[in-house]
Amino acid sequence: MDYDEFKSAFLEALRESAVPILGVRPTNESLDLNSMERTVSVYVEPIDRDIGRPFHVAGQISWRWDSVHAARSRSTEEDLLSELLGREDAHEVETEPSFLRVDIELHATTEYGKALPMPKPSSWARWHEEAIGRLEGVERLVPAELTRDGPDGRLEILAWQGEPQIKVICGPGGELRLSAVSASAFQLIDIPRRWDDPDREPDPPPYGDLLTLLKRVKAALHGWGEALDHLSDHGAKAKH
């Protein structure tokens, strides 16, 4: 599978997931002329745009097609092995599908110049419990299987989710105000190999994994937005 084929599968999954997209174009693409890496990003938002007010909730999904992916997808596995090892040794080597890392970021930001007073520790604790609990439970951001044992017995990382981060603004009087909160994660997607041999069983296409990932992001955006009540003045009062 080459870049255009993977991108088509991603766009098809994006349409099928029905996650709301920010902006006119479905994706933003960039090309690094030094490394020849291509990066594709899409900005998304929850179905309920007003969820989490006074924060604005949004997300970013991105992936990078590097030069190794480009070189491998230009030919079949048999031709690639022959180029690297020679024809004598190529037929004895078994390969594994390469993978592509899809990065996910969830954001919640206040309007410019309208940062919020720093929540109390008890509010932070309630927010962390609900936000992370939902992202790891009902509205999972990453699959339940985060690791697996590889063919050589080594542990392989399949997905990851980090601890939430905050952005704080320091006022002229030294007071700290909350400007944004965010969470990051990633998932690895296998890229099908190209074969000359028509009798060889093809690798599974990535569409199903991409669709499942995007549906999880859609649900996670909703849970992420609802948990923000703990960090706003209105939410803090409503909880008491």
* Domain residue extents for the chain: 3-239
Global confidence as pTM: 0.88
Find the DSSP H helices in 74-112: 77-85, 87-90
Determine the Cα–Cα distance for residues 15 and 10; give it in Å rounded to an integer.
Answer: 9
Return the number of other C-beta atoms located less than 10 Å from residue 194's C-beta.
19
Average pLDDT, the chain: 88
Average pLDDT over residues 104-123: 93
Higher pLDDT among residues 137 and 95, named by residue: 137
How does residue 39 score in pLDDT terms, banded at 50, 70 and 90?
Answer: very high
pLDDT for 239 equals 42
235 pLDDT more than 60: no
Q: Tens digits of per-residue pLDDT, 58-82?
A: 999 999 999 888 888 887 766 666 6
pLDDT for 201 equals 87
236 pLDDT more than 50: no
What is the 8-class DSSP label of residue 21? B
